[in-house]
Amino acid sequence: MYLCHLPTNTWSSSSFTACRLPSPSHLNSQLVSKGSEPSTCFLLLIHCPLVDAHQPKFEAVLSEVDILLNDLTFTISNLSSWMQPESASTNLATKLDDCFIRREPLGVVLIIGSWNYPLQLLLLPMVGAIAAGNCVILKPSEVSATTGSLVAELVPKYLSQECYAVIRGGAEETQELLKNRFDHIFFTGSKGVARSILQAASLHFTPVTLELGGKSPCVVYGPVNMTAAARRLVWAKFFNAGQSCVAPDYILCTSSTRDLLLPALKEALWEFYGEDPRTCPDLCRIVSPQHWTRLRALLEKTRGRIVIGGESDQEDKYMAPTVVVDVSEDDALMAEEILGPILPILSVESVEEAIALINRGQKPLALYVFSEESSVVKTVLEKTSSGGFCSNDGIVHMTLPSLPFGGVGASGWGSYHGRWGFETFSHRRACMLRGWALERFNTLRYPPYSDGKLGWLRWTTSAHSLMIPLI
Amino acid sequence: MARQVVQRAKEAFLSGRTRPLEFRLQQLQSLQRMITEKETEICTALKQDLHRSQYDTPLLELISIENELKLAMEKLSEWASRRPVEKNLLSLSDEVYIHPQPLGVVLIIGAWNYPWAVTLLPLVGAIAAGNAAVVKPSELSEHSSLLLRALLPRYLDMELYPVVMGGASETQELLRLRFDHIFYTGSCAVGRLVMEAAARYLTPVTLELGGKSPCYIDKNCNIMVACRRITWGKFVNCGQTCIAPDYILCERSIQGRVVDCIRQTLLEFYGIDPKSSPDYGRIINRHHFNRVVGLMEGYAPVLGGQSDPSQCYIAPTVLRDVPPHSRLMQEEIFGPVLPIVTVSDMDDAISFINEREKPLALYIFSSDKKAINKMMEETTSGGVTVNDVMMHYTLSSLPFGGVGQSGMGRYHGKHTFEQLSHHRACLVRSLAMENVNLSRYPPQDRRRARRVKMALKSPLIDMSKRTLVWAVVATIIGCALFITLMVILLVAAGLNCTCWYWRGFYN
């Protein structure tokens, strides 16, 4: 296992000070591959079939490489403006002072990736961490072993070995790693592991970002173009064989809507994956035998009725796109995040009932509504909470680097993508530079106190005087 | 008991009554009335808790609360409104924005040194963001806590903003319950317990801790003014301020002058006998009194050093040539004892600071801009004030918070609102233009893949109202200038033409 020395106080460590890269051009050189054009980055070298989950090339390129390149391009072109000190408005007492907010690196950041998008969930946070000027330790998921070893091989070739390292291993190695002190821990994965990370982080008051998951509900209500809705739903649900933290986990709709939706879903599935999805090159497999077994068990325990799919093959880790109806709230399929190609449909009588059901559960990472009635979209948006929200589509809200991507409540803490990643890995230092003049003015605050001094102080520091421009 | 209170707060939040801005504004206005109407009672309570003067209380606490309230009431509709963000080609016809939402029930654990400010400032942000909040004031500032418990239900919604009293065991009981955010101000030891408890429910936390805030005095500066400002910051509230300058770093050559200036300033501020000055405070209780006095053991102060346990009085005390590894330099002093540690130069001072935990505040006194920049670049801290102390706390546009062991998260002004809100990413699409989406669906081929790649890579366009307005205005101005130019050219050319024409006519 590759071990790296972690400094005890990251601000003063030689590794870290060597990597303190205040100038955007220097940071850019780490974000951009050595010797290549700004539009490419070292990740183009990972443009290869990702064998861990039999992921189709299109899905791998779109969800792992392109989204990363997009974020990199966005970050590289905006980094120098993000790094500029942000001017702060002043009051009368501080009108002559230079007040601003400086973004500073935190130190050494630990990024723990996940297996479902092993490259994106590891390297996208790294873009923000590098942009903010930190050193980074990457810990790829041991479940997606092939990608992990590729990352371990390539990162030292393209990035400064002093500042960026990859550590591989399983649960035991991660626990060992967490005994070290970091300045920020970025974790994508399950709640169980997140709890132990937070416990470890509390020892040194290490801030964390937790990208967890949850059951992302999908409400289908009112007049809806079923063909378009079904296509978008099927694409979002069965992309990466349903193994996306933001995949629509289950559908809430009335019985009549369900009766219209089912044929549309069948049609869309046939269009996308053909008569026999098992032979379709565009459908990927379950990542590991353990996850396949977990999903198979859910299908066996469910009291719902399988109306589409249901076939599976353990040896191939194959599971057909499956739709289950007549699922109740206490069904096995509703007890945990599915993270697989099984789509339960629960019947509700109204939007209010759907909202009540959603609010009885934990706050999800994403929430979807398919409806052509804007009042329905608005009602669900305002009466629920979730990490992100998308109406009349699925997943695509996370492709925009201008939107923060993260959870709330049980679905996570913190956000990243684009500038949000830069902010997550930066410390916003409040700075006030005062002069030596006007010391007489300061006597207002010095003892011995008086009513007159107090009155003046109240006025000069009041919020309203923030509005008085400097003449 | 705590469980029922929290459950009621949760139910009140779920009822949705904190969502309308009018409700939040009304609560903030009531809180403002409470501060204005009960100023005398608050001052009395603080006099009993900390021997605060009637001027210290508004100066140190009430003014900041009033300002926060005014700002929140003025800016609430702007802070709470949707924030459009840039779109790409694929989302050009969609609504793309960030929607600030309340988190739910926030637990606010206050501290005893500024019992009103550190409890009510987060409460202002919690109310503004639309949360319910359970307020747990510090039991050490007993009179202030009792007064808060009596007043808050009279002015604010009792179910949404309850006050829970008690000590360590009641706090432990509260921490076993589930909250949507915990906002804690206090010591590192309890902060650790708070974060461990938060791990159970994965509750986000804001920790306003402390640490040793260094104060560097460069030999090239106005030492008299520097010492006056430092003296004020160090001894206000009897040194019991999380951002008080904890210790001084300076070169040996100016140490004597620093001591003299502080001596002179102390005389100006508190007279010959600070014990009898109405403007000088006391230590909160006997335990902390013993702790601070214990820190001084074995050192002969160059100024002050007197104490009176019956009043928890410790005179403003300065010690010189303090060894870096002494007990005084191991923990946050939080009292009116100011050690001076000598360094050889600024680089030595920077190394000294960096060898220790990241402080909540850093103070730099220098007239040399390059030196100031160097120190700022090569160190880090929660906040920094140059050529003064503590003033960065007073500006609500600056985020106030620590880094590393000094804390996590930030607040004041809009930053509190942001800290206690969830920024929900929203993409509102329509089901029309489905043809555009066909490229992303299977079965996949090279052409489809290329189209999707291009759409994904399309640059982000700022479609916000402000940009659109500027674009329209710029276009109108551009067109107007162009038309003016054309008219001038035509008139110039036309004059010649007309001259010829008229000459021809008259001829």
Asked if A365 and A388 count as a contact pair (C-beta separation under 8 A), the reply is yes
Q: Has residue B213 got a pLDDT over 80?
A: yes
Give the integer Cα–Cα distance in Å for B28 and B417: 13
Which residues are within 8 A (CB) of A84 and not within 5 positions of it... i.e. 6 or more apart? Answer: none
Q: Please say if the pLDDT value at position B229 is more than 70.
A: yes
How far is the C-alpha of B200 from the C-alpha of B198, rounded, in Å? Answer: 5
Of B265 and B506, the structure prediction assigns the larger pLDDT to: B265
Residue A244: phi and psi, rounded to 5, are -125, 135
Nearest to A396 among B404, B410, B427 (CB): B427
* Distance from the A274 Cα atom to the nearest Cα atom in chain B, whole angstroms: 9
Residues in chain B within 8 Å Cβ distance of A74: 460
For residues B359-373, b (16+ Cβ closer than 10 Å) or e, as one string?
bbbbbbbbeeeebbe
Beta-sheet pairing, B95-102 with B421-428:
antiparallel
pLDDT in tens, B240-278: 999 999 999 999 999 999 999 999 999 999 999 999 999
Global pTM reads 0.90
Average pLDDT over residues B227-235: 96
- Average pLDDT of the segment spanning A134-142: 94
For residues A317 and A289, the answer to whether their CB atoms sit within 8 Å is yes
CB-based contact B404 A382, cutoff 8 Å: no
pLDDT score of B100 more than 50: yes
pLDDT of residue B478: 93
Q: Which amino acid is at B410?
A: R
Q: Strand, coil or helix: what is B242?
A: coil
Give dist(CA B426, CA B85) in Å, integer: 10
Contacts (Cβ under 8 Å, ≥6 apart) of A290: none
Residues of A in contact with B385 (CB under 8 A): 431-432, 434
**What tokens does A416 get?**
């990243």
Of A58, A101, A370, the CB nearest to B449: A58
Nearest CB to A449 within list B200, B228, B279: B279
Residues of A in contact with B92 (CB under 8 A): none
A277-308 pLDDT, tens digit per residue, is 998 888 889 988 999 999 999 999 999 999 99
Number of CB atoms found within 10 A of residue B66's CB: 19
Sequence-ordered strand ranges (E) for B360-467: 361-365, 383-386, 407-408, 421-428
3-class secondary structure, B363: strand
Q: Which residues of A touch B386 (CB under 8 A)?
A: 431-434
Q: Which residues contact B243 (CB under 8 A, 6 or more apart)?
A: B213, B233, B360, B361, B383, B389, B390, B393
Q: How far is CA A308 from CA A89, A237, A260, A266, in A?
A: 60, 14, 14, 7
**Mind listing the pLDDT tens digit for each residue in B423-477?**
999 999 988 777 777 777 877 776 776 667 676 666 677 766 677 788 888 999 9
Structure-token pair, residue A85: 């000190």
H or E segment at B125? helix B117-128
Nearest residue of chain B to residue A73 (CA atoms): B457
What pLDDT is attached to residue B131?
A: 98
Burial of A277 (0-12, 13-18, 19+ CB in 10 A): buried
Q: Does A62 touch chain B (CB under 8 A)?
A: yes
Six token digits for residue A70: 């997009």
Strand pairing category for A426-433 and A412-413? unpaired
The whole-number average pLDDT for the span B131-141 is: 96
The Cα–Cα gap between A325 and A321 comes to 14
Partner-chain contact B442 A383, CB within 8 Å: no
Percent of chain A whose pLDDT exceeds 70: 86
The whole-chain average pLDDT of chain B stands at: 91
Identify the residue among B175, B367, B370, B397 best suited for mutation to test binding to A, counting A beta carbons within 10 A and taking the highest: B397
What amino acid occupies position B95?
E
Confidence of residue B158 (pLDDT cuts 50, 70, 90): very high
Look at residue A438 and tell me whether its pLDDT is greater than 90.
no
When pLDDT is averaged across residues B107-116 and rounded to a whole number, the result is 96
Per-residue HEC secondary structure of chain A comes to: CCCCCCCCCCCCCHHHHHHCCCCHHHHHHHHCCCCCCCCCCHHHHHCCCCHHHCCCHHHHHHHHHHHHHHHHHHHHHHHHHHHCCEECCCCHHHCCCEEEEEEEECCEEEEECCCCCCCHHHHHHHHHHHHCCCEEEEECCCCCHHHHHHHHHHHHHHCCCCCEEECCCCHHHHHHHCCCCCCEEEEECCHHHHHHHHHHHHCCCCCEEEECCCCCEEEECCCCCHHHHHHHHHHHHHHHHHCCCCCCCEEEECHHHHHHHHHHHHHHHHHHHCCCHHHCCCCCCCCCHHHHHHHHHHHHHCCCEEEECCCEECCCCEECCEEEECCCCCCHHHCCCCCCCEEEEEECCCHHHHHHHHHHCCCCCEEEEECCCHHHHHHHHHHCCCCEEEECCCCHHHHCCCCCECCCHHHEECCECCHHHHHHCEEEEEEEECCCCCHHHHCCCCCCCCHHHHHHHHHHHCHHHHHCCCC
What pLDDT score does A467 carry? 46
CA distance A316 to chain B (A): 21
Amino acid making up residue B354: N
pLDDT exceeds 80 at position B102: yes
Alpha carbon distances (Å) from A451 to A448, A464, B50: 11, 21, 20
Write down the pLDDT at residue A463.
Answer: 55
The count of other CB atoms within 10 Å of the CB of residue A144 is 27
Type and span of the H or E element at B45: helix B39-50
pLDDT score for A15: 35
- Per-residue pLDDT tens digits for B64-73: 999 999 999 9
Query: Which uninterrupted H or E stretch holds B64?
Result: helix B63-80
- DSSP classification of residue B111: -
How distant is the Cα of A283 from the closest Cα of chain B, in angstroms?
9
| Complex ipTM value | 0.89
Nearest CA in chain B to A274: B443
Chain A residues 189-208 with CB within 8 Å of chain B: 191, 194-195, 198-199, 201-205, 207
As a whole number of angstroms, the distance between CA A144 and CA A334 comes to 26
Q: Which of residues 140-199 of A touch B (CB under 8 A)?
A: 183, 191, 194-195, 198-199
Q: Which of the residues B43, B208, B221, B250 is marked catalytic?
A: B208
Helix axes B252-270, B223-235, angle to 10 degrees: 60
- Reply yes or no on whether the pLDDT at A389 is more than 70: yes
DSSP state of B392: G
Chain B partners within 8 Å of A273 (Cβ): 442
Q: Give the rounded percent of residues in chain A with a pLDDT score beyond 90.
A: 65
pLDDT at A36 over 60: no
Q: How many helices (H) and strands (E) does chain B have?
A: 18, 16
User: CB distance B202–A381 less than 8 Å?
Assistant: no
Q: Does A373 touch chain B (CB under 8 A)?
A: no
The pLDDT tens digits of the residues spanning A355-379 come to: 999 999 999 999 999 999 999 999 9
pLDDT > 80? residue B505:
no
CA distance B461 to B471: 12
State pLDDT tens for residues B163-206: 999 998 999 999 999 999 999 999 999 999 999 999 999 999 99
Lowest mean pLDDT: which of A12-21, A259-268, B328-337, B485-494?
A12-21
The predicted pLDDT at position A3 comes to 27
Residue A462 and residue B67: Cβ atoms within 8 Å?
Answer: yes
- Least confident segment among A129-138, B44-53, B120-129, B299-308: B44-53
* Residue B6: both structure tokens together: 């929290």
Residues 6+ apart with CB under 8 A from A105: A20, A132, A133, A134, A425, A426, A427
Q: Residue A451 — very low, low, confident or very high, per pLDDT cuts 50/70/90? A: confident
Q: What is the pLDDT of residue A54?
A: 66
**Nearest beta carbon to residue A12 from set B279, B354, B425:** B354
Q: Which of B225, B376, B392 sits opposite A439 (nearest CB)?
A: B225
Q: Which of B204, B377, B449 sits opposite A61 (nearest CB)?
A: B449
Structure tokens at A72: 């990199």
The 10s digit of each residue's pLDDT in A142-191 is: 888 888 888 999 899 999 999 999 999 988 889 999 999 999 999 999 99
The mean predicted confidence, pLDDT, of chain A is: 85
Residue A350 makes CB contacts below 8 A (sequence gap 6+) with: A254
Residue A211 annotated as catalytic: yes
Residue B445 belongs to what H/E stretch? none
Q: Is B208 a catalytic residue?
A: yes
Closest-CA residue to B128 (of B162, B80, B81, B83): B80
Asked if residue A18 has pLDDT above 70, the reply is no
The amino acid that residue B175 corresponds to is: L
Residue of A nearest to B187 (CA): A205
Residues 6+ apart with CB under 8 A from A151: A46, A118, A119, A122, A123, A138, A140, A166
CB burial of residue A142 (10 Å; 0-12, 13-18, 19+):
middle
- Smallest CA–CA separation between A40 and chain B, in Å? 13
Instruction: For residue A85, give the chain B residue with the closest CA.
Output: B398
Average pLDDT (A400-424) is 95
Catalytic-role residue among A211, A284, A337, A423:
A211
Task: Give, as one character, the DSSP assignment of residue B444.
Answer: P
Q: In A204-236, which positions are buried (b, 16+ CB within 10 angstroms) versus exposed (e)? A: ebbbbbbbbbbbbbbbbbbebbbebbbbbbbbb
* Beta pairing class for B181-185 and B105-109: parallel
A375 at interface of B, judged by CB pairs closer than 8 A: no
